[in-house]
Structures are given as structure tokens and as C-alpha cells.
Chain A
């Protein structure tokens, strides 16, 4: 079943005033469709049009052109109907009430969404447990840390059993442990409830952990739509093995990797993202005196730049 359908979606903004007025295209003729139960990453560099797309999908912004359907509704015209069927989390700002304890915010949401009290209690108990928020329910939102607030926002977005959850940069600013927990939670949510997920992110690991499919947007245009592995292949992205040798040596030569740079005892080897690092590490360790090793993941922006420059 198709839950989201976007055709030639477009949004322009007018910037400047009077004579200096000009039009900027934030989203340019983007088309895609998302099926129920999918987990889709919507990625791209800063200012690519990710948030603008999410805001149109959720009914916050009125599109300048194109066709748009979410859960069978026209988001900006049927905003309040749509609101009951979607949940939205913005990583950068909260939709909770700043001065109220989480518990009160949740109670008000139950009334606003007219969720049945029983369902509300069930969901609240389950999510509070899963996201470990039990001790924080009586703390006003403004006193919560970023990670705690983010978890609060996610619970708030899910209490009314939405079919689709939109997350705009959900892991921004979180520490590694919080990121991991959050990803785990989202995977569970998708697996057990079948909630469709669409998230924008800068973090390639979010995508790797969560998304079967990625849509890449740059300068307002969708430049890729497919599986993450295909993105790496098409973008020609590589991982980098950084080798610190005990002594300076000529460029390392092992099968499956190419040496890109030598600087004293340190050498940089690149190899395809979908290849395993293990045999390469083993080959290097067997042939050279290695002091230290580390692996660098490809940067999403590099992948996109590569993809776009071809």
C-alpha cells in the first residue's frame, strides 16, 4: 500500500525585499513513492531541501507546485486530519511545552488527539519503558538534556499510534550511546508495529543501521533513489584504512586496496565500501610491521559529491 506519493514537488521561497527580491528554489520537481512499512532515509547536504520536503509532507508548508499525497490526504489542505495519522520529530526543536513536565505534556496530547485513555496509558507505559524515561516524567522540558528531550519528543510523536513517523535529524547532537539506543528503538518500532519511517540525517550510520532505502537530494533535486549498497557503488565511495607502520616504508601493496597517500610511517589505503576490511587488514599485518590501524567510514557528503560530479 502506498502511503506517500510525491510528484514533481516544488517549493520556492522569495528572499530579499523590494528591488533585491529574488526567488530561490528549495525543492525542485522531486518525485518518489513510499510504501507502508518502509524505512527510508532522506539525505543530502545542508540546504539541500530535506527539511523543506518534510515540512510539505507534514502540512506545515504549502507546496509551490506538484502533487503530494500522504496517507491519502493532501497535507496542507487536510492538515488536522493528517496530524492524527502521522508523528513528527524535529531534532533541532521540541514540540513539547517548554515549561511543563513531560507527564503534563503527554496528558494534554491525549486530549488533543482524543486518544482513548486506555490506549494512551498502554502506549505511554510501553514507550517510557523502552526509552527509559520513567525518572524524568515530572521534570519540566526545559530542564531536560538534549538526549532526554529527544526521547520525550519521540514518545509524544507516537502516543496517538501514527502510521508514519517523520524524523528530521533525530540523532543530531546526541552522544554515541544515545544514538545507538535511539536506532535500536526505531528498528523495534518498525518491526513490531509496522510504522513507516522517513528520516533525514547527516549521519551515514543512522542510514546504515535503519534504512533499506535512501533518497538523496542535492540542490533541491533527487539525485538517487535506491538501496544503500547501490548508493555506495554508484557513488564510488570507499572506506579508508589508516596504517601506522613502525618504520617508514614504500607504499604498501596488498590485494583489494590501493594506497592513496604516504606520510612518513603513516599510509592511507582505500578499498570499496561493500568489501570486508578483514582480509586487507590481515594482508597488511602479515607483510609489514604495523604499529596501529584504524578504519574511516566514507562521509555521506563525499559520497553525494562524487555522485553529483559525475
Chain B
């Protein structure tokens, strides 16, 4: 069973790499366009933070957090959505693949369907958003009192956050198996979730934080682990173990995602021809 699982992962990773490499090669055929797109993405995704920074000219703290702490929260969530968008952002275009009949072609190839959908039109320029996130984290880390445990938890947070965002991309992308024109539903949770987690969750009512903890676990992308890393008490008094629970949230979400995806594929009705 374990062998089988590693086999599937190996095949998937190789398949993803093969398809992605093809798209990168195609994009690099026009290098000027590639670099301009990458640069514009870098600055575009930075704009959200510029907004927060401007706000701090008139305020000293937001939800009880200062600018450096918000930069840390911002960098962490930007990294998560950046990696998820790079690896699987294409899922939001599932409806288009269905309408064009391209999903049929993917179903005829000896690779897991999800791998092919995610790797389709792989866009290396999206690395710009990840770079931007890492720069932000790097700057913000200057004000963090680092310990080995905090370094470890930061890495766990970044990996879990990426997995959580990727799962949310996929779960809500799956809605398009049932309603082909529903890509906006996914956007509300992915990009919307990203915007929410750019701020300390203390700016939201407690009910929202509860929903982001137990319903759509976006609070685990940056909020809970950052409370530990930044030595902050939880203003809402949620249990302390949640700070270390990001991997659990990620694994649980992956399990739900797998079930929903399978149901979607089996429900798939193709299009007439």
C-alpha cells in the first residue's frame, strides 16, 4: 500500500514536471514578454502591502499588531497562495477545459487527471509572487526573536499554508464539474481568503475567526503559527495547541479535497460531439 502510494506520487511528480517543462519552454520562446509579465506580477502583488503601509502613516497599530508583524503575516500568506497558484492555479479554469473538450483528452492520458489539470499552461512567471513573499518575510524576520523552534514552525507554516491554499483551489474548482461557470466561487475563497489573512484576524469579529479555524481553515495559513513566532497571546483565546496544528488542518483538508475531486470526476458528463 505504501509502495503503491509512493509510486503514484512519483508518477505524478514526473508527469507534472514533464508537462510544466513543456510550457516553460513555450513561454521562454518570447523572453521579453516573459520577464515583463513576471515583473508586473511582482509589483502588482506588492501593491496590497503598499496599501497597508500607507495606512500606517496615520495609525500605529492595526488590530493590536504593528507594521513589522503585519509584514510577517502578509509574507506568510502571500507565500502560501503564491506556491498554490504556481502549482495549481489552473484548476480555476476547469470549466473552460470541460467546455472546450480538453478534459476528455486529458482523461485519455496515463497520468492522474488532477496532475494534468494543474500542470496545464504552467506559468513560471508566477514565481514572482513567491519571490515578493520571500522578500517580505525576509525583511519582517529582522524584528522576530528567532529560536530554533520558531524557525522550524515557520517552515511548517509555509508548507502547510501552501497545501491549504492548493486544496482550496482544487475543492472550489471542483464545483465546475457540476456548474461549469462557477470559477468565481473558487476566487472568493482563494484570493478572498488571501486578502483576509493579510490582516491580523483580530480586525474581524470572533465568528469570522471561528469559521476560518473550523470551516475553511485559512487561519492556519499564517495566523495561528505566527502568534507563536511573534510571541503573541491569542486575543480571542482559542486553544493554544492550534498554533502547532497547521499540518493537521492541511492533511484534513487534503482528505476532503481528494473525496470531492473523485466525486467530481465520476460525475463528469463530458460534452456532446
Instruction: Give residues in A with beta carbon < 8 Å to B.
Output: 13, 51, 55, 58-62, 76, 79-81, 83-84, 86, 88, 90, 92-95, 97, 99-100, 104, 107-108, 111-113, 168-169
Contacts and interface: CB of A to CB of B under 8 A. Distances in A.
Contact of B112 (A80, A84, A168): A80
Nearest to B14: A111
Interface string B100-111: 111011011111
B232 interface: no
B48 interface: no
A262 B108 CA distance: 53
B109 A83 contact: yes
B273 A104 contact: no
Contacts of A113: 109-110
Interface string B242-273: 00000000000000000000000010111011
Contacts, number: 72
B26 A55 contact: no
A93 B102 CA distance: 8
Contacts of A81: 110
A97 B108 contact: no
6 contacts: A83-B108, A86-B108, A93-B100, A99-B26, A108-B19, A112-B111
Given A88-B108, A100-B26, A112 B15 contact: yes
Contacts of A95: 104-105, 108-109
Interface of B: 14-15, 18-19, 22, 25-26, 100-102, 104-105, 107-112, 266, 268-270, 272-273
A99 B102 CA distance: 13
A93 B110 contact: no
Contact of B272 (A51, A88, A104): A51
Given A51-B273, A81-B110, A93-B100, 20 more contacts: A13-B269, A51-B272, A60-B107, A60-B108, A60-B270, A61-B269, A80-B109, A80-B111, A80-B112, A83-B109, A83-B110, A84-B110, A90-B105, A92-B101, A95-B104, A95-B108, A111-B14, A112-B110, A112-B111, A113-B110
A94 B100 CA distance: 10
A93 B101 contact: yes
A168 B272 CA distance: 12
Contacts of A107: 22
A235 to B, nearest CB: 26
Contacts of B268: 60-62
